[in-house]
A and B are shown apart, each in its own frame.
Chain A
């Protein structure tokens, strides 16, 4: 398994509150937000992982990535043609109502209606999917 996949698995599977605390640099509010976001990410674990493709594509390197662009992943035509670039705003809109935002997506899931939960999840994703943490250059 690639190092990034291992790192992603560690982030996704382990009790990583300590990771969030470290990332928050001693800011308890930030640490709580990241930890809450990691818990929200549990909702994604039927289909997604940080470091490797599953039913859904890997999340490592998500921010700034064009939708439908993970090499080799069998996206829907709708996602490939969406023109979306993933960032806080596009993720917030997508996660609120995936099939409504991208009709025809394979992500047939009603979404996360709670704004706070979306915000926490996006904060966690911004942390956990940074290539420096989950990509090939990540520390083992």
Chain B
């Protein structure tokens, strides 16, 4: 990951340029099958979708959250607080979020919408991040929230293929949350059901 000079000591403001400079996402075949292949899926099954623009709105909200997650991991990676193993993990998870964002943007376009762009800057509570534990706990909270966000989005899709794809991302976010909890010394799977 490349360094960005844009993290201030009091509030992390990550420039869009630094995020884009982090490298493009490499799309897995499976992911392409799920979402990047969405145009063909949509073509075959779009009749089931009651309102493609509503589906695009759901995806765009998720996309905005993925952009923010990429920025948040950038802050963690540049904090200087993470040991190598934790840093490697953070960069890997950030890569997943980049892949999610790329695929969500592509699908929004396939639905005829305009994908949300990353913000020019983000504000994070860097004052509260004083140790590796703080950074990992912050990331775990965001990942837990992401699980809830996707869980709340899945039933709203008119197109069930998109619901399936969103559920696939949900599973990835849940793995992130679980691994982060494990590293923090917490029960990695504290509940049988997520909410």
Contacts and interface: CB of A to CB of B under 8 A. Distances in A.
Q: Do A and B come from one complex?
A: yes
B141 A13 contact: yes
Interface residues of B, number: 34
A116 interface: no
Contacts of B126: 1
A51 to B, nearest CB: 8
> Could you tell me the dominant secondary structure of chain A's interface residues?
loop
A106 interface: yes
B155 A110 contact: yes
B123, B142, B153, B156: most-surrounded residue (chain A CB, <10 A): B123
> Could you tell me the dominant secondary structure of chain B's interface residues?
helix
B195 to A, nearest CB: 6
Interface magnitude class on chain A:
20 to 34
Interface string B112-128: 00000000001101111
B145 A45 contact: yes
B16 interface: no
B145 A106 contact: no
Interface of B: 10-11, 54, 57-58, 60-62, 64-65, 68, 122-123, 125-128, 137-138, 141-142, 144-149, 151-156, 195
30 contacts: A1-B11, A1-B123, A1-B127, A5-B125, A13-B125, A13-B128, A13-B137, A13-B141, A42-B141, A42-B144, A42-B148, A43-B152, A44-B148, A45-B142, A45-B144, A45-B148, A46-B145, A46-B149, A47-B61, A47-B65, A55-B65, A99-B156, A107-B61, A108-B54, A108-B57, A109-B61, A110-B151, A110-B153, A110-B155, A110-B156
Interface of A: 1, 5-6, 8-10, 12-14, 42-47, 49, 51-55, 99, 104, 106-111
